[in-house]
Amino acid sequence: MAHVDNLERKAAITGIGQSDVGRRLNRDPLELTADACLQAIEDAGLTRDDIDGLCTYPGAGIAGAPGFTGGGVNEVQDMLRLKLDWVNGGMEQSGQLGSVITACAAVAAGYAKHVLCFRTVWEATAAVGGRKLDMQPLREKAAARKAQQAEVVEDKPHKKVTGSGGMGAIPRANGVQQWSLPFGAASAACWIALCAQRHFHEFGTTREALCSIAVNSRRNAGLNPKAVYRDPMTREDYFNARMISDPFCLFDCDAPADGSTAVIVSRVDAAKDMRKPVIKVESIGSAIRGRPSWDQWDDMTTMSLRDAGAMLWERTDYKPDDVDVAELYDGFSFITLAWLEALGFCGKGEAKDFLKDTSNIALEGKIPLNTHGGQLSAGRLHGYGFLHEACTQLWGEGGERQLQNFGKSAPKLAVAAAGGGPLGGCMLLSAE
Amino acid sequence: MSDNTAEKPFRIQPGLTRDNVHFWTGGADNELSFLCCADCATIVHPPQPICPQCLSKNLAPKPVSGKATLYSYTINQQPWIPGFEPPYVIGLVEIDEDPSVRLMTNIVNCDIDKVEIGMPLQVVFEEQDDGIIFMPLFEPANG
């Protein structure tokens, strides 16, 4: 074997956990995080005392993105009183799964034996201002108390407080946002739509291909009791949906959700006595060999996924045809299409034919895709949901949607991939 | 080039800095201006303190022709920003002097169903209320 020295081979997934998932759960995101983390630890057959590494994406305190993060490594370490040899959390890495890929390197380097990796979102609740403290009763109480005091003590004149407004009445876009926000390109929906439209132009791709991804995901979500959208969707339903940013309609965009997902990354030689057989990390892809940009990337039809996908195959002797199941990010449906091409499940520009219907990607198909319903229908758990589902299928824990129910043998090799634009990371996982 | 003040949407505006001021204010003189390497002529965008090709620090703003080609576009139907009402066309344009330099922008003065990838474009500036910032938008060339 040409690749035996790849250090990610010293890493394995040994446990997974996931909180309740739903629209507007209205629960403390740290509680969701705790649920997922403790479940993953138990699933691995470990205890809190065994966890010596902690890793997350994107970490605490992301301004201007309500519900985008449900706790950083410091909060979670403190909440669970973990004693750690290695911690890492942040946004500037190879996509959401970059955190798991980094954890693989950490265990391979000997920094830790068992790293708990987590990702929490609560965007559905945050979008409607959920979990905000109602200040009104407190203000009324304070006003009543002051009114009472004013009867006995003459109120001192208040020092005038000047606001920080001034010229700042117009919101300003700084840094990288200045190149998109002034033109109303306020969402990744617009940026990825530009990628999709260019793909359509160069290769004759049409919305039929995106429709196949959306419809396939909805069918799979119907078999996943935790999915947020489970009602059947026809191709006609898809084409009747309102447009968001052409060529994307509502069903091309993932569904904001609340939920937390956790996985345990263990050093293989420290994982001899786990509750379940370990899932080995065969290879990873983290490359970004062009400009790290949503708009200056050389070939917008591939985004950076092209390089992450290429690197994954450079580090293994397996080929795309060997893969039993693919869990590929779908923040927008086109991103999944781009991952299918980047990972070689079809040739570049060939997604139009590969996705002319769902026969290739269905549970019975050539390469079952997004078997839990993806973020389009199961809910936007932001990358980690794909890794969770890949492990679920490899461990045979998929219930109704498990591949063996669809004329398949037990899956041995899975790809999980996350990210779009300049964010991309992928993992090839082996249950051999 | 003309100012299309008639239908100005509410725009979030860039925070001006010493490094981007040439780009966002050049429209006052009808100039689309980029940082340019004085040693190897590379157009450097977004602005940065060193030429990514020859590593020279000898960079200065320089106007280009304002001509561009449409690389991709999307007709946005979703209201994201109050006062910036859909539908509107977000374009990604390649400037003629170096097609690897792209700008996200709006395609204006063109029927939405006439927008097509590859169409030649020219810059048109939209003056903002402060009279300082001029947004570079693009319209069909010779339109």
Chain B segment 26-45 residues within 8 A of A by beta carbon are 45
Domains within chain A, CATH numbers bracketed: 7-126+253-430 (3.40.47.10)
pLDDT of residue A170: 73
Q: Is the pLDDT of residue A181 over 70?
A: yes
CA separation for the pair B119, B141 (Å, rounded): 8
DSSP, residue by residue, A164-198? S-TTTTS-EE-GGGGGTGGGT--SHHHHHHHHHHH
How would residue A4 be classed by pLDDT, with cut points 50, 70 and 90?
low
Chain B residues touching residue A246 (CB < 8 angstroms): 74-77
Amino acid at residue number A170: I
**Cβ of residue A300 closer than 8 Å to a chain B Cβ:** yes
CA distances for B105 relative to A309, A407, B101, angstroms? 30, 50, 13
Query: Which helix (DSSP H) or strand (DSSP E) does residue A130 occupy?
Result: none
Digit-coded pLDDT (tens) for A128-144:
888 888 888 888 988 99
Digit-coded pLDDT (tens) for A385-395:
999 999 999 99
Q: Is the pLDDT of residue A163 over 60?
A: no
- Residue B81, min C-alpha distance to chain A (Å): 7
Digit-coded pLDDT (tens) for B20-73:
999 999 999 999 999 999 999 999 999 999 999 999 999 999 999 999 999 999
How would residue A268 be classed by pLDDT, with cut points 50, 70 and 90?
very high
CA separation for the pair A418, A261 (Å, rounded): 14
Q: Is the pLDDT of residue A204 over 50?
A: yes
Mean pLDDT in chain A? 93
Chain A residues touching residue B74 (CB < 8 angstroms): 190, 193-194, 197, 245-248
How would residue B2 be classed by pLDDT, with cut points 50, 70 and 90?
very low
- Do you find a cis peptide bond into B46, omega within 30 degrees of 0? yes
Amino acid at residue number A364: E
Q: Is the pLDDT of residue A337 over 50?
A: yes
Residues A236, A16 contacting (CB under 8 angstroms): no
pLDDT of residue A136: 86
Q: Is the pLDDT of residue B103 over 90?
A: yes
**Cβ of residue B12 closer than 8 Å to a chain A Cβ:** yes
Q: Do B74 and A296 touch (CB under 8 A)?
A: no
Residues in a beta bridge with B75? B89
More confident residue, A155 or A24: A24
How would residue B6 be classed by pLDDT, with cut points 50, 70 and 90?
low
- Report the predicted TM-score, pTM, of the whole model to 2 decimal places: 0.93
